């Protein structure tokens, strides 16, 4: 099993490396250049332009720039912003925790009620709770996030719950205010995930309840809840884990729209700014951070499978 | 209902078909007027219709019938495990002095597995696929799993492999081992008085099937349990059952001691079934399959077998014959009942 984990970890590194390479080449192949953002007299004057490009190191051969960048990454150096010369690592370091906190809060607001409601409606299959849950989840899935965000901004007329422009406050500074400000965006962000996890769990449980081994457990006198704990949940959790892993990956890596509407200085916001300023270093750094979150979460989900479904473990021994 | 029905009363009015038998031996399970109706998109599906039978202590009662005749539904109804939305009607499901049809879920749960156990139709999938067998044995058998005598029994029925490899998942064992394991759990966990075995050997090959049948007979001997043995295979039933009930289209058309079923079948369907058995057909003669299909038989107002019956009469299509006693058999047929249709 240790070799499996090692193999998977190496796989993550390989994918990571490919993502960085692809993003690097893509950005450098495109006609964008941070020089375009400078004052028109500089951007239009070939001599001044060349001087700036030289200062930024953009006139070096691509291969050199590439190895320079990779070398920097390996030592934790993401380079400096081409816009204002500040450290990219520092900027990501500031934005990442904000996005992670928002994502975690959204995941919590999605998963906790989803587990409760999914289980409850599976136990009361076809009854009122189940019907209501179905309607609620369909509505929740079909509401566009940005629309909901704007509606909430207009409707919630309480400044306590709205950051206002740049009004985000860090958790360490004022936890209550921080959570208040993050509540609405987290709700918007988590809503679709909540609906999908609810449905996935309910579907998995209903299927598990219809299975022969649940029927046997019931015939041996187990109660519905006992069966749920011992037999059904395990079967239902496996497909739900996949869904939840992907969704939570999306939540954690910062969502451009929600962060923008609610003025949350997270990774999504950072990337938008980077692309607007044609700041490749910063954009590249943001991509690397996002990809890393996704891949690590994927690895975690894969490892969770081993815990939840021992058949995968035995499959590994045979392989 | 009729209070003074004895063996001498007029057969045509026998509403309680086993009233005579009840006098000689108290039934362990006494089912009367059992009907099961499933909901479906195309309207209610009557799967079991007005079925009555007894299982006596220590006996093996076979329940045979084609696929879809309602055998499993009878078992599920007795266990009180019909799916939500299913309609259960019963005058009585009497068991150890209680009427299971009228018990609350909480009380039914104390009977399930303890007094009545069910061996389901699918042995391969009846254990949770992701939990090691040892842990599942522990769920069902509890501390008794450490009892050397019980371990000895498990060894004796060929489950040594399961005891030796408790950390393996069910998928690592053969179908025969799993079926014996499931039967062992059902029969040994609480030593119930009644075992409902729903086609426990259909998915197994002939050798393994023989082992499982032997196991059932051994358990009957040792524990004195009664068995309702569901099968669509008359040959298997002939090997182990004391009496046999024949189901068709949701109705129990005949119940008789096993010897009578083969030597003196009374219902035309039973006769056709026996005639279609390979073992009753001389090798040089072709098998005689029953013409037509059982499709839709459960929806007919009269005798469900009427469309395929060689001896069909007009009355068969409109009225279900009342079951009448003939010697040790109970049969529901206008031909046997004579005036039953008019008298009822
Ligand atoms: N859950 C259900 N919902 C709807 N209809 C059902 C359900 N279970 C069984 N039926 C229907 O009820 C009828 C009797 O089914 P049942 O499973 O009791 O038959 P069976 O005699 O056990 O058949 P088999 O030999 O195939 O196991 C069939 O027509 C079947 O389609
Ligand atoms: Mg069946």
Instruction: Say which ligand is closest to the CA of B67.
Output: 1
A138 confidence band (pLDDT: 50, 70, 90): very high
Same domain, B173 and B280: no
By CA distance, what is B78's nearest residue in A?
A219
Report whether pLDDT(B23) > 70. Answer: no
Same domain, B39 and B173: no
B196 beta partners: B118, B228
Residue B122 forms part of a structural domain: no
Q: Which is the closest atom of ligand 1 to the Cα of B48?
A: 14
- Is B122's Cβ below 8 Å from some Cβ in A? yes
Domain residues of chain A, as ranges? 2-74, 93-311
Same domain, B45 and B93: yes
Same domain, B315 and B254: yes
A109 contact partners, CB below 8 Å, separation of at least 6: A186, A187, A190, A194
Report whether pLDDT(A160) > 80. Answer: no
Measure CA of the first residue to CA of the last residue in chain B; give whole Å: 14
In Å, how far is B152's CA from the nearest CA of chain A? 22
Report whether pLDDT(B7) > 50. Answer: no
**Least confident span in A56-70, A145-159, B9-23, B196-210:** B9-23
Residue B296: the pLDDT is 86
| CA-closest candidate to residue A150, choices A192, A105, A124, A188 | A188
Task: Please identify, among B140, B161, B189, the residue that sits at the C-terminal boundary of a domain.
Answer: B189
In Å, how far is B129's CA from the nearest CA of chain A? 8
Question: Which one has a higher pLDDT value, A21 or B287?
Answer: A21
**Cβ <8 Å between B79 and A219:** yes
* Rounded CA separation A225/A254 (Å): 37
**Cβ <8 Å between A220 and B169:** no
A316 confidence band (pLDDT: 50, 70, 90): low
% residues pLDDT > 70 (chain B): 89
Report whether pLDDT(B260) > 50. Answer: yes
By CA distance, what is B198's nearest residue in A?
A216
Neighbours of B288 (CB within 10 A): 13
Question: Which one has a higher pLDDT value, B274 or A39?
Answer: B274
Report whether pLDDT(B106) > 50. Answer: yes
**Cβ <8 Å between A230 and B120:** no
**CA angle, B245 as apex, B323 and B262 as ends, to 5°?**
105
- Pick the residue of B73, B103, B121, B129 with the most A CBs within 10 A to test the interface with A by mutation: B129
Interface of B with A in 285-344 (CB under 8 A): none
Structurally, chain B folds into a number of domains equal to 2
B283 confidence band (pLDDT: 50, 70, 90): low
B92 beta partners: B32
Task: Please identify, among B140, B156, B189, the residue that sits at the C-terminal boundary of a domain.
Answer: B189
Same domain, B30 and B157: no
By CA distance, what is A123's nearest residue in B?
B84
Q: Which is the closest atom of ligand 1 to the Cα of B202?
A: 25
Report whether pLDDT(B105) > 80. Answer: yes
Alpha helices (runs of H) in A156-232, residue ranges in sequence order: 175-209, 212-219, 224-227
Report whether pLDDT(B21) > 60. Answer: no
Of residues B81, B122, B140, nearest to A212 (C-beta): B122
Residue B340: the pLDDT is 42
Instruction: Say which ligand is closest to the CA of B68.
Output: 1
How many A-B residue pairs are in contact by the CB < 8 A criterion?
73
Same domain, B110 and B212: yes
Residue B344 forms part of a structural domain: no
Report whether pLDDT(B2) > 50. Answer: no
Same domain, B204 and B278: yes
Q: Which residues of A fall within a CB distance of 8 Å from B230? A: none
Pairing of strands B116-119, B194-198: parallel
* Rounded CA separation B63/B76 (Å): 14
Residue B124 forms part of a structural domain: no
Report whether pLDDT(B11) > 80. Answer: no
pLDDT digits (tens, 9 = 90+) for B203-251: 777 887 888 888 889 888 988 899 999 998 888 898 899 999 999 999 9
Nearest-CA residue for atom 24 of ligand 1: B67
Domain A93-311, classified CATH 1.20.1250.20, yes or no: no
Q: Which is the closest atom of ligand 1 to the Cα of B250?
A: 14
Domain containing B285 — which CATH number? 3.40.50.300
Cα–ligand 1 centroid distance for A217 (angstroms): 20
Q: What is the mean pLDDT of residues B1-16?
A: 39
Of residues B113, B126, B132, nearest to A213 (C-beta): B126
Length of chain A: 319
Same domain, B185 and B204: no
Residue B4: the pLDDT is 39
* Rounded CA separation B69/B248 (Å): 5
Q: Which residues of B fall within a CB distance of 8 Å from A309? A: 130
A137 confidence band (pLDDT: 50, 70, 90): very high
A238 confidence band (pLDDT: 50, 70, 90): confident
Burial class (CB in 10 A: 0-12, 13-18, 19+), A191: buried
Residue B282: the pLDDT is 66
Alpha helices (runs of H) in chain B, residue ranges in sequence order: 19-24, 71-79, 105-111, 133-141, 148-156, 160-164, 175-188, 206-223, 234-240, 258-263, 268-275, 314-318, 334-337, 340-343
Instruction: Give chain A's contact residues with B (Cβ, < 8 Å).
Output: 125-126, 211-213, 215-223, 230-231, 234-235, 308-311, 314
Tokens encoding B299 = 């929806």
Residue A179: the pLDDT is 87
Q: What is the mean pLDDT of residues A28-52?
A: 75
Same domain, B215 and B151: no
Report whether pLDDT(B290) > 70. Answer: yes
| Helical axes A280-308 vs A88-123, angle rounded to 10° | 30
Q: What's A166's DSSP letter?
A: T
Question: Which one has a higher pLDDT value, A82 or B94?
Answer: B94
CB of A241 closer than 8 Å to CB of A114: no
Same domain, B257 and B201: yes
Residue B23 forms part of a structural domain: yes
**Cβ <8 Å between A311 and B129:** yes
Tokens encoding B265 = 């079948």
Q: What is the extent of the structural domain holding B44?
A: 3-115+193-336
Residue B249: the pLDDT is 93
| CA-closest candidate to residue A120, choices A132, A108, A110, A109 | A132
Residue A317: the pLDDT is 55
% residues pLDDT > 70 (chain A): 95
B8 confidence band (pLDDT: 50, 70, 90): very low
A164 confidence band (pLDDT: 50, 70, 90): low
Task: Please identify, among B164, B189, B214, the residue that sits at the C-terminal boundary of a domain.
Answer: B189
| Helical axes B175-188 vs B133-141, angle rounded to 10° | 20
**Cβ <8 Å between B130 and A223:** no
pLDDT digits (tens, 9 = 90+) for A201-231: 999 998 888 888 999 999 999 988 888 888 7
Complex confidence, ipTM: 0.83
Residues having CB within 6 Å of any atom of ligand 1: B 38, 40, 45, 47, 65, 67-73, 83, 121, 232
Greatest mean pLDDT among A74-83, B26-35, B175-184:
B26-35
A319 confidence band (pLDDT: 50, 70, 90): very low
Residue A254: the pLDDT is 62
**Cβ <8 Å between A311 and B125:** no
Same domain, B107 and B161: no
* Rounded CA separation B61/B18 (Å): 14
**CA angle, B67 as apex, B306 and B258 as ends, to 5°?**
75
Pairing of strands B243-248, B98-99: unpaired
Nearest-CA residue for atom 30 of ligand 1: B68
Report whether pLDDT(B15) > 80. Answer: no
By CA distance, what is B108's nearest residue in A?
A221
Residue A245: the pLDDT is 84
Report whether pLDDT(B339) > 50. Answer: no
Nearest-CA residue for atom 22 of ligand 1: B72
Q: Which residues of B fall within a CB distance of 8 Å from A204? A: none
Q: Which residues of B fall within a CB distance of 8 Å from A310? A: 130-132, 169
Residue B3: the pLDDT is 39
Residue B341 forms part of a structural domain: no
Tokens encoding A37 = 């953002």
Q: What is the mean pLDDT of residues B324-328?
A: 88
**Least confident span in A250-259, B7-16, B207-216:** B7-16
**Least confident span in A6-15, A238-247, B55-64, B326-335:** A238-247
Same domain, B70 and B219: yes
Query: Mean of the per-residue pLDDT values for chain A?
Result: 85
Residue B25: the pLDDT is 61
Residue B109: the pLDDT is 94
Q: Which residues of A fall within a CB distance of 8 Å from B112? A: 218-221
Q: Which residues of B fall within a CB distance of 8 Å from A307? A: none
């Amino acid at each position: 099993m240790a070799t499996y984990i090692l193999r998977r970890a190496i796989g993550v590194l390989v994918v990571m490396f490919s993502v960085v390479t692809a993003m690097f080449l893509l950005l450098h192949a495109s006609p964008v250049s941070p020089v375009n953002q400078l004052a028109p007299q500089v951007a239009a004057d070939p001599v001044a332009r060349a001087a700036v490009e030289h200062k930024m190191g953009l006139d070096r051969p691509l291969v050199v720039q590439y190895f320079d960048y990779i070398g920097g990454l390996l030592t934790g150096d993401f380079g400096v912003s081409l816009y204002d010369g500040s450290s990219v690592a520092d900027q990501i370091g500031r934005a990442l925790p904000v996005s992670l906190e928002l994502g975690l809060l959204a995941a919590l607001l999605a998963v906790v009620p989803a587990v409760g409601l999914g289980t409850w409606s599976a136990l009361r299959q076809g009854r009122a709770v189940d019907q209501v849950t179905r309607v609620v989840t369909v509505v929740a899935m079909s509401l566009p996030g940005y629309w909901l965000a704007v509606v909430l901004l207009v409707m919630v007329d309480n400044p306590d719950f709205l950051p206002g422009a740049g009004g985000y406050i860090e958790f360490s500074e004022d936890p209550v205010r921080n959570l208040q400000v993050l509540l609405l965006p987290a709700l918007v962000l988590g809503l679709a995930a909540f609906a999908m996890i609810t449905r996935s769990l309910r579907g998995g449980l209903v299927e598990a309840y219809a299975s022969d081994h649940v029927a046997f457990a019931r015939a041996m006198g187990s109660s519905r809840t006992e069966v749920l704990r011992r037999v059904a949940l395990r079967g239902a959790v496996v497909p739900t884990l996949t869904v939840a892993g992907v969704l939570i990956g999306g939540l954690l890596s910062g969502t451009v729209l929600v962060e923008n509407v609610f003025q949350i200085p997270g990774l999504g916001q950072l990337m938008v700014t980077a692309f607007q300023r044609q700041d490749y270093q910063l954009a590249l750094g943001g991509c690397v951070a996002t990809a890393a979150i996704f891949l690590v979460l994927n690895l975690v989900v894969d490892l969770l499978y081993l815990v939840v479904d021992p058949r995968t473990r035995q499959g590994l021994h045979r392989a | 209902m009729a209070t003074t029905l004895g063996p001498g009363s007029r057969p045509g009015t026998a509403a309680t078909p086993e009233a005579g038998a009840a006098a000689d031996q108290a039934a362990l399970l006494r089912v009367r007027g059992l009907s099961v109706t499933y909901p479906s998109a195309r309207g209610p599906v009557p799967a079991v219709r007005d079925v009555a039978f007894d299982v006596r202590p220590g006996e093996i009662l076979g329940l045979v019938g084609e696929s879809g005749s309602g055998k499993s539904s009878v078992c599920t109804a007795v266990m009180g495990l019909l799916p939500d939305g299913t309609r259960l009607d019963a005058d009585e499901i009497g068991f150890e002095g209680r009427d299971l049809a009228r018990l609350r879920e909480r009380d039914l749960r104390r009977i399930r597995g303890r007094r009545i156990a069910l061996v389901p139709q699918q042995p391969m999938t009846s254990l949770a696929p992701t939990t090691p067998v040892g842990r599942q044995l522990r769920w069902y058998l509890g501390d008794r799993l450490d009892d050397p005598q019980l371990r000895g029994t498990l060894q004796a029925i060929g489950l040594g492999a399961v005891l030796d490899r408790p950390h393996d998942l069910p998928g690592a064992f053969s179908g025969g081992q799993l079926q014996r394991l499931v039967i062992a759990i059902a029969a040994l966990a609480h030593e119930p008085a009644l075992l409902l075995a729903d086609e426990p050997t259909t998915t197994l090959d002939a050798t393994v099937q023989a082992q499982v049948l032997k196991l059932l007979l051994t358990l009957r001997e040792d524990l004195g349990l009664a068995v309702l043995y569901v099968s669509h295979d008359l040959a298997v039933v002939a090997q182990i059952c004391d009496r046999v009930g024949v189901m068709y289209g949701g109705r129990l058309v005949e119940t008789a001691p096993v010897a009578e079923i083969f030597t003196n079948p009374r219902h035309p369907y039973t006769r056709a079934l026996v005639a279609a058995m390979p073992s009753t057909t001389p090798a040089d003669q072709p098998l005689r399959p029953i013409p037509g299909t059982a499709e839709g038989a459960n929806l007919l107002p009269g005798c469900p077998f009427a469309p395929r019956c060689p001896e069909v009469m007009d009355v068969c299509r409109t009225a279900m014959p009342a079951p009448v006693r003939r010697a040790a058999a109970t049969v529901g047929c206008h031909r046997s009942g004579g005036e039953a249709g008019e008298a009822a």
